[in-house]
Structure 1
Amino acid sequence: MNNTASTYKALIAKVAGCCVFFMLIALGASAQRGRVEVVKDARVDTLINRWDELNKIGGIRGSNYGYRVQIFTGSNRKDAYKAQNRFQDMHPDMRTYISYRDPNFKVHAGDFRTKLEAQKMLEELKPYFSGMFVIPGKINPPKLETGND
């Protein structure tokens, strides 16, 4: 019996020694440090700088986020189109958007870059529409006016 106990002790000592050995190897492997070299075309930096310049002045992309005024919410499609037509009669140059998410139709008006612009439109429309509020989100950029000066 004593012989069996010493055999188990020897086996445990070997297993423990192997575990320590493998842990040291794992730690050594994870502690290795290397050097990464990035090879890229110089034109990439030029494009990135140009893109930043255009965005600073509101060039090509501008901002895609802004505000719209929600002028209608309801479950009746005809009422949604009536609200859209009534708004279009007052502001024919401004875009409107109808969306449907079960069970409601929503009519949003305008593509405003700032919340202040949307708030001014909301105040102007208060006598004509009820339950309006300003919605932040993705907008379509306004059309650029091109002149042949």
Structure 2
Amino acid sequence: MSAKYYFCPMKGKYSLTCFFLCITAGFLSAQPVARTSDLFNRDDHNNRMGELVINQGLPLDTIISRHILANKNLFRVNNHYGMEGFRIQIYASNNRNAREESNKTRAEFMSKFPDIVSYPLYAEPGYFKVRVGDFRTRTEAMKLFQLISKDFKDAYIVPDIINFPDLNIK
């Protein structure tokens, strides 16, 4: 008699599930975790006025270190902190005279709209850009865009890291 081999679908599903569980566990265990003791080092051990002991469990330590690592370089561009928002780009070029043209465009904008801040930017490979305004939403940017687009035909709204808004408004 010949032996017949049958494929068992349950066995295949079980082995496939085990395989994916092992892969997922491997990815989860490879996540970087910083020790909180390294993050809160103090060098002034000689000036002990009092002593504070914080007892925290490993889960809390893991949560704090993940939060610190996730926000370490969040919205940090050229050593400048900011938030997600929008600006209006009024000039972008990489031709020979791009630097001079961007300066002229910025000066023209500043003369027409003195209350709105403008930012000269340089991006590789040789792009000079001029962006204006700090807007939290695209709707805020659209209001100014309608005014600017009359004078600057190549203007358009771009997502960018903007400065934090001034909270000392009187």
Greater helix fraction, Structure 1 or Structure 2 = 1
Matched, 1:122 2:141: no
Task: Please give the per-residue CA displacement for 1:111-140, whole angstroms capped at 9, x wherever unaligned.
Answer: 001101111111111121121111112110
Residue type matched to 1:38 in 2?
Answer: L
Among residues 100, 105, 111, which one is paired with 1:78 in the alignment? 100
Residue ranges of structure 2 left out of the alignment (5+ in a row):
1-56, 68-81
- Report % sequence identity: 32
- For 1:114 and 1:40, the matched residues in 2 are separated by 35
Change beyond 3 A, Cα 1:66–1:40: closer
- For 1:90 and 1:144, the matched residues in 2 are separated by 26
- For 1:40 and 1:113, the matched residues in 2 are separated by 33
- For 1:103 and 1:40, the matched residues in 2 are separated by 47
- For 2:168 and 2:147, the matched residues in 1 are separated by 25
RMSD across aligned positions (CA): 2.5
Matched, 1:66 2:85: yes
Query: How many equivalent pairs are there?
Result: 92
Q: CA deviation at 1:72?
A: 0.6
Task: Please give the per-residue CA displacement for 1:78-131, whole angstroms capped at 9, x wherever unaligned.
Answer: 110111111112222222111112232110000001101111111111121121
Q: Which residue of 2 aligns with 1:145?
A: 168
Residue ranges of structure 1 left out of the alignment (5+ in a row):
1-36, 49-62
Structure with bigger gyration radius: 1
TM-score (norm 1): 0.53
Task: Please give the per-residue CA displacement for 1:43-73, whole angstroms capped at 9, x wherever unaligned.
Answer: x8xxx9xxxxxxxxxxxxxx71110000011
Residue type matched to 2:158 in 1?
Answer: I
